[in-house]
Structure 1
């Protein structure tokens, strides 16, 4: 691990941006009526947790690196820990436990987790009334080791060309069970034909499917949910729907 280019590692394992289910409107936090029409077959619904996106990058020999969405924060054995949002202290016990898992793969596994609660973001109080921190895994991907031989610009181009191999829902579920990591809540699977296409319909869909968060950390939590992530089981199509964005859109339409 210590012989690789850390900038290439950081770039190759970053999580891509997720599109919104409806197209962004001209005013901040609002949508147009145009929605994604690429969903086919079944659609998995998971709770979108509002926290800070993080990574645990696990090497075949058990070594690991912990990162935020944009930067690497800690490698096993480091004397200095980046205290950003309590991410490292929250995830280090998990990463240490992963070292005891059997390897057997020549690829680098990246687990993507949301660390939430504490003082993370303006919605932290919806998950905790006592500044507790929690985490949930929401995705996983593999990177061939040879990609890290490339320079950072090449690694970035590789990632942006869909080079990362994201695991299927079944594979993510298996990893979560094997490693004892809780996933973001699964809210069910529906046919793509049942997805609402209008703004009002999607707002109603969100309030019905997730009236309150399923990941509250204590009784003091406000429990207002962030929204839903919609994806096909093989992850070929993925989008997000935030409750607040739909409320803002409807509010502006009504003139309030």
Structure 2
């Protein structure tokens, strides 16, 4: 890569990874949720959580860029070898080229985080397509300053997992998506924090009512089952994920325990 401050791709990879997102209700033993919901204040934005492969486009000064999966960098501009993992590079390369030509990054790194989904990508591929289609949806954008790229890997990881990344807020994210014609993950609702369901059972009901089927199906033959919903405040200082599978499993375990107790 040509940026003089980027001498170690491992550091760039670590500094531009997506941090872990907590489950909306805390996760306990055996994969069961606890009655401990994430606390938000102000307005909460609910978006569809798409079940695919996390991809990223890392834009650098001078029109340089890299494309990565959730864990690894797979391609850099000008490379003759492209890692074919999950089809992420193939899916994102045209967009990366288009964004890089704009040369909007003058320092550090700006990372576009996208979910790549569809044909043979993960166990849920048939929920989104039946004819081999692949799509991508933007869900976040973050900027990493030059000084972070020079830290040692352990310090970079600590910085990333403790909210160090400079995230685009909802208004900026919407503007970027519209300006560059990048499809966003569907916006489902904006609600006051106090209106979020408190209990696990109520959250399960709310999920089913808010997102009965995926909104990002790629063809009419898709099965249409959604993965869940991501909740974030407008500044992205608090974020959590609510997956249907977690709530179903928790309620099934509770029902099984109640049935066992009734037999004693």
Match of 2:132 in 1: 131
Alignment partners' CA distance in 2, 1:192 and 1:231: 10
Q: Say if 2:14 is the partner of 1:11.
A: yes
Q: CA RMSD in A?
A: 1.4
* Equivalent in the alignment of 1:35: 37
| Equivalent position SS for 1:100 | helix
Q: C-alpha separation between the residues in 2 aligned to 1:128 and 1:90?
A: 15
Measured in 2, the distance between the counterparts of 1:159 and 1:33 equals: 28
Query: What secondary structure sits across from 2:157 in the alignment?
Result: helix
| Cα distance per residue 1:88-115 (max 9 Å; x no partner) | 0100000001123252632311000000
Partner of 2:50: 49
Taking structure 2 as the reference length, what is the TM-score of the superposition?
Answer: 0.92
* Partners of 1:205 and 1:122 in 2: CA distance: 25
Check the 8 A contact 1:44/1:232 in 2, yes or no.
yes
1:118-197, aligned counterparts within 5 Å?
Answer: 118-197=119-198
- 1:250 and 2:251 are equivalent in the alignment: yes
Provide the secondary structure at the position in 2 that maps to 1:74: strand
Deviations 1:95-148 (A, max 9, x none): 001123252632311000000111111111000011211100000100112322
Ranges of 4+ aligned residues in structure 1 off by more than 6 Å: none
How many residues are matched? 254
Per-residue CA shift, 1:159-188, capped at 9, x if unaligned?
234321111011111111111100000012
User: Whose helix fraction is larger, Structure 1's or Structure 2's?
Assistant: 2
Write the distance in 1 (CA, Å) between the matches of 2:251 and 2:48.
Answer: 22
The offset of 1:85, in angstroms, is 0.6
- Is the 1:136–1:183 contact (alpha carbons within 8 Å) kept by the matching residues of 2? yes
Aligned residue in 2 for 1:92: 93
- Say yes or no: does 1:69 pair with 2:79: no
Q: 1:81 to 1:42 in 2, by over 3 A?
A: same
Deviations 1:1-59 (A, max 9, x none): 3452101100111100100011112112x21222112x011100000000011110001
Find the counterpart in structure 1 of residue 61 from structure 2: 60
TM-score calculated relative to the size of structure 1:
0.95
In 1, Cα distance between equivalents of 2:171 and 2:58: 20
Q: Which runs of 5+ in 2 are unaligned?
A: 260-264
What are the ranges of 5 or more consecutive residues in structure 1 without an aligned counterpart? Answer: none
Give yes or no for contact 1:4–1:148 (8 Å, CA) kept in 2.
no
* SS, match of residue 27 in structure 1: helix
Contact 1:8/1:156 (<8 A) preserved: no
